[in-house]
Chain A
Amino acid sequence: MGLSLNVQDLRVTGAQGREILAIDALSLAPGGSLGVRGPSGAGKSTLLYALAGLVRRARGRILWDATDMIALRPGARTRFRRETMGFVFQDALLFEELSAAANASLAASYAAGARRRAIAAGAREELERLGVPSGGRRVRTYSGGERQRIALARALSGEPKILLADEPTASLDRTMSEALVADLTRRTRREGISLIAVSHDEMLLGAMDRVVTIKNGELVPA
């Protein structure tokens, strides 16, 4: 089952000390899905990275169940991310020289013995479930839709409790986007994974349980 999210008084400042994100409160039920929309530069991706514990200059509280990401030490934050989160980005960000299976099971490279095998098996299953041919060929030869599905398989292979997606359909055409959204929502709902997706894509946002809008780093009423 996914984790609940409870954000309180989150403040993120830029390198020059300027406040670039101010979220007083934001929540998500375990296994729920949340869409984040807003104009470019509004702070959508910054919010997503803050929720993942990747932002250095953040204050406030980001509670995933009882775990406060901001209060965690860097090593613990990395471990929490590794054990509970999956990521899908706008650009699939694959290792072009590796095969689909090697990309999907990337986390096995740094996981311990038993978990390594579980991740590798999970990656194979996800690729099969998502219909990606997983021979030995390098991922650079795959289509855009297939590459995003490989990225999705990579995100799901570790059986995450939280899935964070940053503009996952932005580089895909309509048909591919529809297929990816269907895969994304079907898999997260079935496994009870908490899903937060930042996007301009109304089709993707329409598939979310709830959608919030950010402008100038702040949540605005719908």
Chain B
Amino acid sequence: MIIRPLLDQWEALPPLAQDGALLAILLVPAIAIGLVTLWGYRPFALVGAMLWRFRVTNLLFVLLIACSVGIGVGLIAQERGLRQGTAHAAEKFDLIVAAPGSEVTMMLAAVYLQPTDAPLLSAAVYEEVANDPRVSIAAPIAFGDSVDGAPVVGTSPQFVGYLSGALAEGRVFAAEREAVVGSRVDLAVGEHFEPAHGVGDAADEHAHEEAEFHIVGRMAPTGSPWDRAVLVPVEAVWEVHGLAPGHGPDWDGTVGPPYESAYFPGTPAILVRAEELWANYALRSEYTREDAMAFFPGAVLAQLHGLLGDVRQVMSLMAIVTEVLVTAGVLTGLVVLTRLYGQRLALLRALGAPGRFVFAVVWSYAAVLIATGALLGLALGIGASAALSQVVSARTDIAIEATLGWPELHLVAAFVSLTIVLAMIPAGAALTREVIADLRG
């Protein structure tokens, strides 16, 4: 009865307010315990004394906590960065029409340029798609060659313009032997190259010696593997492989559509763009049939992310369990350290210090270690994640940016609150000790 309106109000809050409120709620236990424990007391000089007395052990505890928190924060930030990076890389690929088969395989080939042997779509299907009035770009693609490890992708000049937007340098290719390089390709505008047949170690450097391309432009960064690709007219790819160039004998050499069906050798996929969003759904529906399949790369990616989401939850849970276990170990260590400091704590009690003050000294000591470790872990996690992002980006060509997000802050806040509550155990244990026995050492 009361919960429903509260939930409705919560749902009505903007996301930023929800995240901020959740952070505050998670920190409430820690703050409340701190206020109740420390109210009216000044234990910080003694806490500082304890921190200094066991400085090496304390540093070790802080590092242990920092590492465990850092792993949790890093995992979450990295996973989110990877998810966002892969989604961003697929943003420009609204709809793909390909021969029936695996959507995931085709997405990996067309969006992420992973080498694959895909069946070809017929000229009839291409013509049907290209002539559909709802379609503004229908770009055939062709791949299989490479330059210094960078894949050579044949496509239409319209798609290059759409993918890059304004080029960073030069212009889009207009003739069969012209090329545009991705933003991270190590070739300059004005240079010439001869593509190797194949990709990787198996590439044949001499198979296309007669085909020299001239680089006329460089794309702006897209944050996708296309940044490492060399884009050439699809006609050129067909031709150097001994196929028809997509145009008839009286072709004037202008690259790009329209292509003639009789001279269209086939394409593994058509990258389709419709001006209207609804049209994409209609196109997907129409071209999902016996001789073709149409899919949204974003939707396929979302399915993959959904599957990986379960793994993420398990990993997050494991990270939390690790953090709690490490902190439990640290708190056990604190109980031992508190015993080593028992004579001084017994002195306080002998002098008439209230039990709450002695509790406050030990609790604050633990809280400082936990909070310091957690903050350090937060920085460590983000730093490690940023470094890892660079490595993964360099290897996959997918721009991954792991930044500090609310989930990490929530994780750290929950961790701090939980462990600060647990820190009451060594603090309480200090009060149960025999004063006289501790005074005598």
Contacts and interface: CB of A to CB of B under 8 A. Distances in A.
Interface of A: 45-46, 49, 52, 54-56, 75, 78-83, 85, 87, 89, 91, 93, 95-98, 102, 106-110, 112, 116, 154
Contacts of A106: 348, 351
A178 B32 CA distance: 51
Contact of B52 (A78, A87, A97): A97
A102 B352 contact: no
A29 B206 CA distance: 113
A78 B349 contact: yes
Interface stretch (B39-47, B224-232, B403-411): B39-47
Contact of A81 (B41, B351, B434, B440): B351
B46 A109 contact: yes
Given A89-B439, A110-B353, 20 more contacts: A45-B440, A49-B436, A49-B439, A54-B436, A81-B350, A82-B354, A83-B352, A95-B49, A97-B53, A98-B45, A98-B46, A98-B49, A106-B348, A106-B351, A107-B351, A109-B42, A109-B43, A109-B353, A110-B41, A116-B42
A55 B49 CA distance: 28
Given A49-B436, A112-B40, A97 B48 contact: yes
9 contacts: A81-B351, A89-B347, A95-B344, A96-B53, A109-B43, A109-B45, A109-B353, A110-B43, A116-B42
Interface of B: 40-43, 45-46, 48-49, 52-53, 343-344, 347-355, 357, 434-436, 439-441
B354 A78 contact: yes
Contacts of B436: 46, 49, 54-55
A111 B354 CA distance: 9
- Counting chain B CB atoms within 10 Å of each CB, the highest count among A75, A85, A109, A154 belongs to A109
Nearest to B40: A112
B343 A93 contact: yes
Contacts of B349: 78
What 5 A-B pairs have minimum CB-CB distances, sorted nearest first? A82-B352, A81-B352, A97-B49, A110-B357, A97-B52
B350 A54 contact: yes
Contacts of B46: 95, 98, 109
Nearest to A89: B439
